A = this chain, B = another copy of it.
């Protein structure tokens, strides 16, 4: 089980970025997203609407006490934080693949020391400033070694991939 922990969501400012985090997590094989920060039912609804139509078992929930929640998750999960200061993914990915239950923390606001210190591994996708959405995507594709790209979602709606045009299959 791979859970993504979106830390410090801010309504309005992060609405789209957090939605991108959730949808990328779902599409690229994660099982759940947990969102701390401002309580934003709208983001949950967007994600649930996608899952309802496009399938899969992806879960999304809000969390009011991030440190307590991560401490609790730490009992059964290996905690990874994605940060530009961390160890390069290419050095640590083989080790991470041995862990079956991961929580991947993805910051929005700056992640404070009490959260930072709960991580078992701090991992960087390059040491350059860029995007937590991009970092999460590369992380998941490498963790799953590309197998996530073949995941079946069995949704009410799906796409038949093609060279040209748009082919949508619905069974609603």
Contacts and interface: CB of A to CB of B under 8 A. Distances in A.
What number of copies of this chain does the assembly contain?
Answer: 2
A106 to B, nearest CB: 12
Contacts of A121: 163
Interface in A143-172: 146, 148-151, 153, 158-159, 161-167
Contacts of A128: 23, 26-27, 54, 153
A90 B146 contact: yes
B85 A149 contact: no
Interface residues of A, number: 53
A151 B151 CA distance: 31
Main secondary structure of the interface of A (DSSP, over half): mixed
Nearest to A24: B134
A28 interface: yes
A125 to B, nearest CB: 7
A4 to B, nearest CB: 12
A26 B167 CA distance: 32
Given A85-B161, A159-B85, A167-B85, A24 B122 contact: no
11 contacts: A17-B20, A20-B131, A23-B131, A24-B130, A26-B128, A26-B130, A27-B126, A28-B130, A85-B165, A126-B149, A127-B158
Interface of A: 13, 16-17, 20-21, 23-24, 26-28, 50, 54, 84-90, 117, 121-122, 124-131, 133-138, 141-142, 146, 148-151, 153, 158-159, 161-167
